[in-house]
Amino acid sequence: TLTLTLTLTLTLSLTLTLTPRQAHRLRQPAAAATDDRLARWRPKWEPGGMRGWHIGQVPHPAVAAFEDRLSLRPGARVLVPLAGAAHDIKHFADGGADVVAVEGVRGALDAFAANYAGAAIVESGAKAEAKLKHHAVQLPEGLVHWVEGDFLALLGDPKAAGGAFDAAFDRGGLVAVQPGDRDAYAATLKALMRPGGKILLVTVEHPPFNGGRLGPPHSIDAAEVERLFGGAFDAELLRREDRMEVEPSWKQRGCDYFFESTWLLTRRS
């Protein structure tokens, strides 16, 4: 009896045709761990750190133009994700809203409080290793609630933000996160908004920056807004502006176009 063992090697070649959008998404980095997500932002909030996105102690133009579309009533709960030290936090609080700012870097909280005479941080007393630390900023005109930690951690624990929100303002949040984290970011917003709640969302569109850098801010077009939010929100484009002439820094970064869009997202029931 003769036994023969045959080893066959098969080579299979597949040709895939991808749309430009699919190819772009394949090149995006995977979602990062919390420490990786926050590490690049910490130096920006140290003394002397570069914070070119900060526009000073005035409301963002999108808030100035479209705040009325949020239909805020006194005591309405307003979320400001990836808040930085934005003046919009105080602006909403001054208008009578119950504001919750979420920011991963402690330096942003310190910078926010330092902007206003008489402001004082009320510490939470949370352990240093806690993923989410709750603070408050006592302002002369009222109180702002502050959650220090990774915004995406609220997806698994939305009650940690104190309950559902009536409105949110996202100017530098979605465009700042890595593309691999976008789906989780959108899901977190979905989990935090009550039915009928409204989000004023600011996005940008641009080609890759010098050296092929994609962001931040990352380019997000209308199709991506629909992909991220269309299943749970009604999306209305309020304004789309060409910012190249008024912000020449984008040309210096290698852009031949730069658009800023303001969206109103309304949470479906």
Q: Quick check: 85 and 116 in contact, CB under 8 A?
A: no
Report yes or no: 80 and 144 within 8 Å, Cβ to Cβ.
no
**Mean pLDDT across 172-182:** 95
The pLDDT assigned to 188 comes to 97
Q: What integer is the mean pLDDT of 239-255?
A: 95
Is 126 a residue whose pLDDT tops 90?
no
Distance separating alpha carbons of residues 123 and 256, to the nearest angstrom: 46
Identity of residue 107: G
Q: Per-residue pLDDT for 161 more than 70?
A: yes
148 Rama sector, left if φ>0, alpha if ψ -120 to 50, beta otherwise: beta
pLDDT of residue 129: 66
pTM of the complete model beyond 0.85: no
What is the pLDDT, as a whole number, of residue 93? 96
Number of alpha carbons in the 13 Å side-chain half-sphere of residue 248: 0
